[in-house]
Structure 1
Amino acid sequence: MKTSDVTALILLGALWGASFLFMRMGANEFGGMALAGMRAIGAAICSIPLLTRTRLTEMRTHWRDIAIVGIANSALPFVLFSFAAQSLPAGVSAISDAIAPLLVALSGWMLLGEKLNPMQASGLVIGFTGVVWLVAGTVGFGGGTHAMGWAMAACLGANVCYTFGAHYSHRRLRSGVTPLSVATGSQLAAAVLLLPFTVWMWPTRTPGWSAWLAVLGLAALCTSLAYVLFYGLMARVGASRSMVVMFLIPVFGVVWGLVFLHEPVTLAMAGGCIVILLGVALTTGLVRLRRNRGPVPNEVAVEHP
């Protein structure tokens, strides 16, 4: 990878890791639904300059499939992660986001008949062991057992949505539509879907300036800019190497939470993060990139917040 690609990869990890910081900053004042809606609406507005005539034609032709991807990869995960941010530390939410590739591989094997080699199967077992470790150590975190449990369930639900969206877009939108058209169109679909709920559940008390800055960061940086970086990176270096960002999101999420919100780094967070990422490395084949230059059998690019 070129230096510019490595720089883009690190920046992407920092941006997607920061999304959990911004959600944590804005969730309590906006509420989960309004925060998710403002993120989607803001990202859609920022994506308007990308609406070329060719992309508009592609979105009009494939609008149903793009809308479904927008619901699965943007609208629902935004709501679920924003809900979780009201109870979970930013670092814990960021670590949980790393399980999406494990769910993609597992669902591909169980539902779609995709084969797993022994290394990938071992990675699934190791990765989900890390998930159990993280969940067991987080539920009861700070005494909020019930709230933490529901928040962890929301994070899992968001990753299930990503899994469905990854498989669906991989099979329905691989030809005839460019990735940036999918990214732009899906944000527009998410914004349209969440707009009425955002108005309905708008907070009675006006959010403070820090919460508004968090919304701006989520929409402009962590969503609109991040998707442009992600798809550009995939076009230059391929999906396999782009998946390295999965290792950076939890790290940056924990670091941003520690630096800006003074969140403690617990044994459950550190141990769960290490074990989950080891499982992701084995499952996605990242540990064999130098020896295996072909595509991973069940490789599917997964979008993240």
Structure 2
Amino acid sequence: MLLLSLVWASAFSMIKIAVPYVGPVVLVFARCLIGAMVMAVILVLMRGNSVWPRGWRQWSGLAGVGVVSTALPFTLISYAEQNITSSLTAVLMTVGPLVAIMLGHYFTDDEKINRGKLMGICLGFLAAVYLLRAGLNGGLHSGLDCGLDSGKSGADGGNLLHMLAVIAAAACYAIGGLGAKKLPHVSSEVIAAMVLLVSALVMIPALGPSIATLMGEGQEPGLADVPLKVWLALVWLGVMPSGLAFYLRYFLIKRNGYGFVSYVGYLIPLFAIVIGVVLLGEAVTVDTVLAMAVILGGLVLTRGATDLPWSISPKWTGFRRRLN
């Protein structure tokens, strides 16, 4: 879970580096296409042991999962990061576990809510709302003239439309993850490969204007002006957060349920803030630090009494069991 959190957290900074130069559409198409190629290699290495969808219903369901869980949220996040910081984007994604566990309670058999989970996700949600308020007041804006010279830096950190786009992306992840849970007989590597391929194909109709701009036909910087760090960011996005991490995501969904994978959403902001500070020179406010402490507390409450990845005292174990 920690490794998955770290890889996904890095995506926010990579998007922040690349999106000012290539735009959301090209960025999403490139990362999905590269990710699909990575998964194609994995499928070859599996030597035909993968289980593929059977019938129109499973194929159409897989395509729907690709659009909802990948194409839409990738585009929304890339759009948002044109105007808000990578740290704020990651923190706003903490609404994902709330949506996932709430929906899982009604649409799955193994994701039921108890008092501990409810308290934990509410704490995480309240922390996100607190940061949303701080963002609206401009308190999270770091003036991204960053150490890596990220190009056209994020403007006002309090742009409500861009923040709502991130929240919508978090909801898409939750809905798409639950949809993947409904494909129990399809291999995880097949799901990851197909959702990335479908997402790349979905972006093709919108590529025309973006490619024209990238080639220098508009007012924006052309292809020759794109620095090496942007290409490296796109490759990283495709290989790691979109390729290998996607495979691990769907593997964990099938093995542990989406509620377990959604807990990653609590750790991603913490790692994303650290990466944003080190890589982009983003500022960390007191509001952010306090909210992160609350979110980590919520993570502990959402886990069961005996399934935390570290040892805890008998008193805490007894308290957590009483919340079930």
TM-score by length of 1: 0.80
- Counterpart AA for 1:161: C
My pick for the range that moved more, 116-125 or 32-41, is 116-125
Identify the residue that residue 106 of structure 1 maps to in structure 2: 102
Equivalence for 2:71: 75
1:173 to 183, 188, 191: 183
Q: Look up the match of 2:161.
A: 150
User: Does the 8 Å CA contact 1:88/1:148 hold for their aligned counterparts?
Assistant: yes
- Distance change in 2, residues 1:227/1:111 (3 Å): closer
Kindly indicate whether structure 1 or structure 2 has the higher relative contact order, using CA contacts under 8 Å at least 6 residues apart. Answer: 1
Moved more, 96-105 or 250-259: 96-105
* Partner residue, 1:187: 196
Measured in 2, the distance between the counterparts of 1:209 and 1:73 equals 29
Q: Is the 8 A contact 1:71 1:190 kept in 2?
A: yes
- Asked whether the equivalents of residues 95 and 250 of structure 1 are also in contact (C-alpha less than 8 Å), the reply is yes
Change (3 A) 1:228 1:37: same
% identity of equivalent residues: 27
Is the alpha carbon distance of 1:239 and 1:77 closer, same or farther for their aligned partners in structure 2, counting shifts above 3 Å? closer
SS of the aligned residue for 1:201 comes to: helix
**Cα-to-partner distance string for 1:35-77 (whole Å, 9 max, x where unaligned):** 1121112211222213354547437762211111111111001
> Which has the larger Rg?
2
Contact 2:188 2:247 in 1 (8 A): no
- The aligned counterpart of 1:272 is 291
Rate the CA distance shift 1:140–1:26 in 2: closer, same or farther, 3 A.
Answer: farther
Tell me the CA shift for residue 273 of structure 1: 2.5
Q: For structure 2, which runs of at least 5 residues remain unmatched after alignment?
A: 144-154, 217-221, 309-316, 319-324
- Give the equivalent residue in structure 1 for 2:118: 121
| Alpha-carbon distance, 1:25 to partner | 0.4
The one-letter amino acid of 2:209's match is W
Distance 1:112 1:248, change over 3 A: closer
Deviations 1:6-32 (A, max 9, x none): xxx433222111000100001111112
Contact 2:19 2:78 in 1 (8 A): yes
Q: Does 1:289 align with 2:307?
A: yes
Equivalenced residues, count: 281
Change beyond 3 A, Cα 1:266–1:106: same
The corresponding residue for 2:276 is: 257
Q: 1:31 to 1:156 in 2, by over 3 A?
A: same
- 1:160 pairs with 2:171: yes
How far apart are 1:227 and its partner, in Å? 2.3
Which residue of 39, 46, 53 corresponds with 1:47?
39
Check conservation: 2:52, 2:187, Cα contact below 8 A. Answer: no
1: CA distance, partners of 2:67 / 2:203: 10
Q: Hey, what does 2:53 align to over in structure 1?
A: 58
Counterpart CA distance in 2 for 1:59 and 1:258 is 46
Is 1:209 aligned to residue 228 of structure 2?
yes
For structure 1, list consecutive stretches of 5 or more residues without a partner in the other structure.
1-8, 293-305
Note if contact 1:244-1:286 (Cα within 8 Å) is conserved in structure 2: no
In structure 2, C-alpha distance between the alignment counterparts of 1:68 and 1:236, rounded to whole Å: 21
Contact 2:25 2:75 in 1 (8 A): yes
CA contact (8 A) 1:98 1:277 kept: no
Give the alignment partner of residue 87 of structure 2, picking from 74, 81, 91: 91
Q: Are residue 23 (structure 1) and residue 23 (structure 2) matched?
A: no
Shift of 1:241: 6.3
